[in-house]
């Protein structure tokens, strides 16, 4: 199992969330060959990038699980259980290995690699990330020159430029072209700022972050990348839908380490104007980011700003908004997330809600749906 590094103590609560639950059972795909095999391997893990395929069915507000037909209007609650009761399938996890046959994974990779379309080439890059940084950079450049305005390719390039200095990929021309593609979203500007920070250009970093704080939304491209991966799995693999979704989530385990530099900048600055940027950008990220951990980074940026101004009242107010300080992030989410391993329809509804709304909404809706389903005495998805 792969334990992702955490940036701040507040990220500890992410272990409870579904995204972390799925990604915690993932392991590297790099050892799997590109030709069919017969062994079994744990669920692989990769990163994200670009291109939005035809969307999945939009999530509905009501749930119709495969294990039990539930009508919200006719369910009679069992009086022996509390109102927030959720069916407990923890005992069944020991029989759920999370293993997916290697031959199905390698068959998928083999088919994907043979395709010459831009979307499939990109999917292959995402699911089979080259181990060499030079090879990764070369492939990204090839895809970039095919579609230089692709926000997910550009996001992937910036991710590599933040983590590794690569002169040809991170040239001024490419960075300028990426900046020109920015519209209403702040995410690429934030990543461009972090590239400038890595290059030691602090003033340019602050200017870009200030510009980002004026945008109307913070929305990274990870969901588009996850949908691309899911689309390619549906098209080229023989995996079940449950396996496709679990693998997709494992591939897309959120990359938040780089965004942690924002908190570092806000904590270490004595620049009053930049503190204002931290507050405004932090609020934008909290309000509009789709991932729970990203929202927490936005909250923490605001905490640091108010702490700088010694506004203890606002500091405490924001800290109390963090999920780690809310009792709702407890056993209910854990039990509901476990149900998704055994109720494919519940998993599908959660995935769609996460893709088309936000992770927080999906998690909250999952708990509500799990409670509703558990009211039916015939609902028992747990394998015996």
DSSP 8-state code for residue 59: P
Specify the pLDDT at position 78: 53
Rounded Cα distance, 190 and 206, in Å? 10
Q: Name, of 14-18, 78-82, 121-125, 205-209, the range with top average pLDDT.
A: 205-209
The model's pLDDT over 80-135, given as tens digits with 9 standing for 90+, comes to 678 899 999 999 988 766 678 889 999 999 999 999 999 999 999 988 877 788 89
Q: Give tens-digit pLDDT for 289-318.
A: 988 889 999 999 999 999 999 999 999 999
* Domain residue ranges of the chain, discontinuous segments joined by +: 9-374
More confident site: 207 or 26: 207
- Residue 55: band (very low, low, confident or very high) from pLDDT cuts 50, 70, 90: very low
Arithmetic mean of pLDDT, 19-41: 41
Q: Which pair of structure tokens corresponds to residue 209?
A: 């972050």
Predicted pLDDT at 80:
66
pLDDT tens for each residue of 245-280: 988 987 765 466 688 899 999 999 999 999 999 999
Residue 29 has pLDDT above 80, yes or no: no
What is the residue-averaged pLDDT of the chain?
Answer: 80
Query: Any residues with CB less than 8 A from the CB of 107 and at least 6 apart, and which?
Result: 36, 237, 238
Q: What percent of the chain has pLDDT over 90?
A: 58
Predicted local confidence at residue 315, as pLDDT: 97
What does pTM read for this prediction? 0.77
319, 296, 293: which is closest to 307 by C-alpha? 319
Residue given tokens 């060959």 in the structure block: 33
Token duo for residue 38: 């017969």
Q: What is d(CA 182, CA 177) in angstroms, rounded to the nearest whole number?
A: 9
> What count of other Cβ atoms lies within 10 Å of the Cβ of residue 181?
13
What are 317-345's pLDDT values in tens digits? 999 888 655 544 578 999 999 999 999 99
Chain position carrying tokens 């990038």 = 49
pLDDT of residue 329: 53
Strands 26-28 vs 40-45: parallel, antiparallel or unpaired = parallel
């Amino acid at each position: 199992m792969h334990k992702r590094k955490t940036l701040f103590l507040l990220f500890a609560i992410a272990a409870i969330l579904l995204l972390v639950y799925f990604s915690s059972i993932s392991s590297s795909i790099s050892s799997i060959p590109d030709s069919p095999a017969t062994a079994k391997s744990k669920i692989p893990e990769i990163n994200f990038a670009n291109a939005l395929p035809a969307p999945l069915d939009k999530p509905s507000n009501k749930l119709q699980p495969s294990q039990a037909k539930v009508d919200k209007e006719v369910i009679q609650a069992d009086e022996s259980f509390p109102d927030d009761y959720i069916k407990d399938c923890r005992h069944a996890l020991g029989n759920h290995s999370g293993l997916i046959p290697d031959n199905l994974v390698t068959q998928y990779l083999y088919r994907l690699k043979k395709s010459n379309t831009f979307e499939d080439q990109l999917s292959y890059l995402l699911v089979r990330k080259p181990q060499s940084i030079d090879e990764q950079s070369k492939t990204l450049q090839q895809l970039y020159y095919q579609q230089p305005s692709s926000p997910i390719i550009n996001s992937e390039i910036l991710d590599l430029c933040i983590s590794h200095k690569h002169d040809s990929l991170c040239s001024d021309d490419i960075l300028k072209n990426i900046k020109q593609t920015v519209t209403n979203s702040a995410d690429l500007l934030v990543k461009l700022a972090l590239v400038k920070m890595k290059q030691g250009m602090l003033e340019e970093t602050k200017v870009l972050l200030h510009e980002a704080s004026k945008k109307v939304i913070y929305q990274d491209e990870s969901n588009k990348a996850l949908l691309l991966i899911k689309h390619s799995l549906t098209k080229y693999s023989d995996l079940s839908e449950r396996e496709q979704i679990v693998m997709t989530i494992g591939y897309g385990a959120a990359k938040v380490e780089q965004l942690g530099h924002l908190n570092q900048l806000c904590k270490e600055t004595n620049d009053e104007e930049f503190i204002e940027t931290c507050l405004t950008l932090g609020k934008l990220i909290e309000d509009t980011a789709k991932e729970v951990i990203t929202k927490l980074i936005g909250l923490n940026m605001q905490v640091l700003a108010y702490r700088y101004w010694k506004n203890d009242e606002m500091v405490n107010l924001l800290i109390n908004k963090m999920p780690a300080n809310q009792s709702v992030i407890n056993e209910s989410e854990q039990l509901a997330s476990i149900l998704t391993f055994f109720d494919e329809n519940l998993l599908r509804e959660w995935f769609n809600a996460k893709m088309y709304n936000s992770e927080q909404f999906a998690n909250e809706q999952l708990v509500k749906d799990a409670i509703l389903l558990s009211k039916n005495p015939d609902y028992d998805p747990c394998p015996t």
